[in-house]
Structure 1
Amino acid sequence: MYSLKDLKEVLKTSATQTIIFPEGDEAKIQQTATMLVEEQLVDVILLFNKKTDIPTGLNTQIKVMSVDQIDVAPYIAKFMEIRGDKTNLEQATKLMQLRTYIGTMMILEQKADAMVCGLTFTTADTLRPALQVVKVKKGMAIASSAFIMKKGEQAFIFTDCALNVNPDAKQLAQIGIMATEFAKTMNVTNPETVFLSYSTKGSGAGEAVDKVAQAIKELDAIKPDFAYDGEFQFDAAFVQEVRMKKAPNSKLTKATPDVFVFPELQSGNIGYKIAQRLGGFDAVGPFILGLNKPINDLSRGATLEDIYETAIYTAFQALNSQN
């Protein structure tokens, strides 16, 4: 999997991407923007509510914009066109005063390539305009999320730990596909994907087990170009020796798979945080998958390093979405 250093080298030698940060008034966002432009990794737009909120002394390479100085009339008209009878002039006018909506409209109008947000805005505040304006890719019914879990030379992808509360079997299969495609863009060679459960190949029973087993059948019908298997308990998924004892005919060949698909949000969210807090893994993300353009959500407790790293991965996603 690409390291952060690898991604920076790619960005420096590729077409420059523009990231918009709706939370331009946050000190950590301003620091991140400065680092990014000084290293010549991306172009940056910072959004503010008022012109008077814009601090003096920002790096002049950083583009700054304030809501009170933006002509939002074209955005209102475009938003009403997109949403049709799901909105009205009063609602559209109100929404186009929100920096998250303006950011997504700028992406739609190709004035920016990606957006990073979430220090003060909730996940819903960040993703609602993304889903309404940028929308999911053709053929995708949902968007999903993924974390890159890193520790030393180890790197895995956990999905979906941040977005879909209780996906059905068909959605779970799609979540696995999106995460595996993400792994490929991150330079994972021949990624292998495992679907997790409290059961290994029928050792347990229940609706939750049936859902994961059905997700595997959905994939069997699609025939994606990657190795996958399930349902597996985590020990059988993670440790090849255990897997060979519990499921000797598994289609997984690597010592450890690359992508771990959790059956629903509760287990996924708990799982990545256990890996982070007890296992000592760094959790990078979440990255939102399945959108036409990358819009990623920060944790409200994100550190400067978290924001910087997320911005670099986001710029790489944007670059990849154009290829």
Structure 2
Amino acid sequence: MTKYIIRRLIGIIPTLFIIVTLSFFIVRIAPGGPFDGERAMPETVKRNIEAKYHLDEPLLMQYGRYLFDVFRGDLGPSYKYKDHDVNYFIAMSLPNSIILGVVALSLALIFGISLGTLAAVRQNSWMDYGSMGLAVIGISVPLFVIGPILQYVFAMKLRWLPTSGWFAAGDSWKTIILPAIALSFSYFADVARLTRSSMLETLRSDYIRTAKAKGMRNSVIVAKHAMKGAMLPIVSYLGPAFAGIITGSIVIEQVFRIPGLGRFFVQSSFNRDYTLIVGVVIVYSVILVIMNFLVDIAYAQLDPRISYK
């Protein structure tokens, strides 16, 4: 197991190297540049600005310079926001996106696992149909529809919660409730359906039949024996889900005016801000790679039949 962990950690390096390389060249191949605007900039001014940021150098030389800076932890300057560099914007906004993502994913896991388990235990009952019907709604309705509906009902009509804002910016702590619920809805649906199907399969296993034959209570069988085996697909889902719920928060951050990383990602795409685009992609990729690594380790702990050689 230790050798496997070491090999996986070493394998992260070439993965991130490929991601940085592809991101660097793809954004520069796209038409347009960071200093193109509605009005043409004087050629002399444009050459001076490009020389300042080393954009007048050959592309491979720019790539080597950027790669060296990334290895030092420097994601470079922002071409549009000249007061701060990319590291500043990521450090300022990423914690907000992570907080929102962690809260949303926690809600999705708590309610998804609970309702999925109840649906499996009470198969073909009203609880099963109701839970899966709610899951279908969560999968079908997009985030940009769920968010405004929650704002209209709970903020504008009932006036229970604020329509937008963020608690870290001085607003009420209640500002996290609506965006977290909206962001968790589709992930709750996936978790509930995965839990139900996995739990049904586990409850039909031979060792569960043996436990029932010994006279164990159903609650003990589900909580102590079936739950551990049924969680394997959920654990596999957590890696990309955690990264996806942070990247997926871009829409929710726009709807609820949350100062997260998604705002800078959208703005940098419109502005052709090369370093900010690549910096955000690198951060998202690191989160995805690390979460997949942790999921593999947790998978082996849950299922002793799995061995890594």
Give TM-score, length-normalised by structure 1. Answer: 0.26
Q: Which has the larger radius of gyration?
A: 2
Q: Which has the higher strand share?
A: 1
Quick one: higher RCO (CA 8 Å, sep 6+), 1 or 2?
2
